[in-house]
Structure 1
Amino acid sequence: MPVVVTNPPRAASELVDALGAYGVATIHEAQGRTGLLGSHLAPIQQGVRIAGNAVTATVAPGDNTTIGVAVEQCGEGDILVVAPTAPCDMGYFGDLLATSLRARGVRGLVIEAGVRDVADLNEMGFPVWSKAISAEGTGKGNLGDVNIPISIGGRIVHPGDVIVADDDGVVVVPRLRAADAIAASKAREEKEAKARARYVAGEIALDVNNMRPLVEKAGTRYVDYEEWVKEQQA
């Protein structure tokens, strides 16, 4: 029997917005290279970054009824995260559902299936990360669940977790670890700023990242070109 869980706990808005200041790559690295959803979940637009609390939903293959149910559970600052119960690339979502979500203050959609009306979605500025683009519409009547833990992109997303998405993909931060992820991301950006200054000054990665011992350990041999040619001809 389908279930809709109402009013799950969410991360505080100030934590969500603070995480939104960092890119997906930074957060992924900062939290120990965890939480990154599969690379097949790609943006339909470019140059957009969003962060919000996850409202989760499962949908039946070829049926988007549960998305309509999930809309009612969405509010200001949320991101709708949708996964089919079996693989399906049909166009579950278009401009009308986006209009409804936008009216409720939803910041975007992550869906491991197809979307359509892409030109309209981009024109209205509603961000989407999807597995596919497909004009094929879905049916109605087979219900899934709303606001339960779901598997999407090789990760588990719980309702109320923080989702950050940009040109690099989508990363999930567990709700109770949001503050730790912010601190770790801040530390990583400070470290990268120092490294960037060294690159600007002309240093290279071998020295900035102390990689020369690794090159030496691998037994790498530097050979002048003329000598290398002779060796190949011998």
Structure 2
Amino acid sequence: MIRNIITIIVCGFFATTLTAQSVTATSEYIKELTSNWKGERFEDGRPKVSDALLKRLQSVNIEEAWGFLRGKGYHNQYDGNWKMVHEDGVMTGRVVTAQYMPLRPDFEKVIKLKGAEEKRDTIGGSNSWPIETLKPGDVYVADGYGRIIDGTLIGSNLGNAIYANSKNGVIFDAGVRDLAGLKEIEGFQGWFRGDDPSYLQQEMLTSINAPIRIGRAIVLPGDIVLANSYGVVFIPAYLMSDLVISSEVTNLRDQFGFQRLKEKKYTAGQIDTQWTKDIKNDFVNWLDNYPDTKLPMSRSELNAYLKSHGY
């Protein structure tokens, strides 16, 4: 009797879970995925990293971001070998994820039904659905399993829609078409695997704001992306503040070191190894004379960082 009751409860749980599945991840699920973030969030549950911090991230070196993340135990956040809409582009933003798979009719039917329940346009292509969710500062990141021919997720029409909603761009492990038209969208940025005149076919959207894989990187909704000509890095939102100021202080250390080497005050060996207490004190005194207007962070942020790192 007890066994039968347990079986009924378990089956009921799984039936409820399957019924509750949707194309777009719930805010509760996204909050669980990003539980280390303690700040403000969007309605969909994604961390709301400030625009000011996103702007500061644009000056961070890809290698510095990669090294910082590896030091925190995140070894799978970078991917390279991209084509770009604008070769000199730099983009930062909050990630909205989408996953695509080869078309399977029975699965596609379920996706369409779930999309209708979410009040999405089921007449047009489902590749427009993630675009409808974008907010200013978002980056549309899609796992298109590297497909280029017949795997072009957007052309210039959807590119214009993306930029209208996000004022940002895309990172596609997939193809694009009408690259000439995409290049004409002022301010639009894009990283992709290749371009082709074919349109999207025999492919379907399967999820929005679920975890995805982009090349060798794992990406969660609400991650922060740093993308430039050297590759893309996906940063857990809760590490953003520490990563940015750490990189900024590293840059200040480099400026100090270059200056002191030119002055021949220290040898290259002294600067390249762990600094002595005297060099650290010299660095702090050098910072005291650094103009506040040229600091990338506030003076209070800088002082707090130095104190917490033994300066």
TM-score range for the pair, normalised by the shorter chain length:
0.7 to 0.9
Structure 2 equivalent of residue 217 of structure 1: none
Note closer, same or farther for the CA distance 1:115–1:37 as it changes in structure 2 (3 Å cut).
farther
In structure 2, the residue corresponding to 1:10 is in which secondary structure?
coil
2:225 alignment partner in structure 1: 163
The code of the aligned residue for 1:93 comes to I
User: CA 1:196 to 1:168, structure 2 compared with 1: closer, same or farther past 3 Å?
Assistant: farther
1:75 maps to 135
Percentage identity across aligned positions? 23
Q: Counterpart of 2:180?
A: 119
- Shift of residue 199, structure 1, vs aligned partner: 6.9
**1:73 to partner: Cα distance:** 1.3
- 1:8 corresponds, among 45, 65, 69, to 45
Query: Secondary structure of the residue that 2:205 maps to in structure 1?
Result: coil
The structural deviation recorded for 1:119 is 1.8
Q: Kindly tell me: are residues 205 and 124 of structure 1, through their superposed partners in 2, closer, same or farther at Cα, counting changes over 3 Å?
A: farther
| Larger Cα-atom Rg | 2
Q: How far is the alpha carbon of 1:153 from its aligned partner?
A: 2.1
Q: What's the counterpart of residue 45 of structure 1?
A: 86
Conserved 8 A contact 1:54-1:160: yes
1:100-119 → structure 2 map (5 Å cutoff): 100-119=161-180
Higher-helix-fraction structure: 2
Report which stretch shifted further, 172-181 or 182-191. 182-191
Paired amino acid for 2:215: G
Number of aligned residues: 209
Question: Which moves more between the two structures, 154-163 or 24-33?
Answer: 24-33
Answer yes or no: is 1:92 the counterpart of 2:92.
no
Range 35-44 or range 108-117, more displaced: 35-44
Distance in 2, matches of 1:121 and 1:190, equals 37
- Structure 1's unaligned 5+ residue stretches are 211-234
| Contact kept in structure 2, 1:11 and 1:176, CA below 8 Å | no
Q: Distance in 2 between matches of 1:4 and 1:105?
A: 18
RCO higher in structure (CA 8 A, sep ≥6): 1
Question: How far off its partner does 1:8 sit?
Answer: 2.6
1:191–1:127 distance in 2 versus 1, CA, 3 Å: same
* Alpha carbons 1:59, 1:82 under 8 Å: kept: yes
* Residues 92-132 of structure 1 deviation map (CA, whole Å, 9 limit, x = unaligned): 22111111111112411001111122222122131101112
> Per the alignment, do residues 200 and 54 of structure 1 end up closer, same or farther by CA in structure 2, a change over 3 Å counting?
farther
TM-score (norm 2): 0.59
CA RMSD, Structure 1 to Structure 2 (Å): 2.9
User: Partners of 1:2 and 1:27 in 2: how far apart?
Assistant: 34
Moved more, 97-106 or 156-165: 97-106
TM-fit CA distance, 1:16: 2.4
TM-score (norm 1): 0.76
In the aligned structure 2, how far is the partner of 1:179 from the partner of 1:78? Answer: 18
Unaligned runs of 5+ in 2: 1-20, 27-43, 109-123, 274-311
Residue 28 of structure 1: SS of its match in structure 2? helix
Q: Is the 8 A contact 1:11 1:178 kept in 2?
A: no
CA distance in 2, matches of 1:101, 1:59: 18
Q: What corresponds to 1:209 in structure 2?
A: 272
| Match 2:70 to one of 6, 11, 32 | 32
Q: How big is the shift at 1:10?
A: 2.2
Deviations 1:110-163 (A, max 9, x none): 011111222221221311011122222112773310001111121111111101
CA distance in 2, matches of 1:180, 1:49: 20
Does 2:98 align with 1:60? no
Instruction: Name the SS of the counterpart of 1:143 in structure 2.
Output: strand
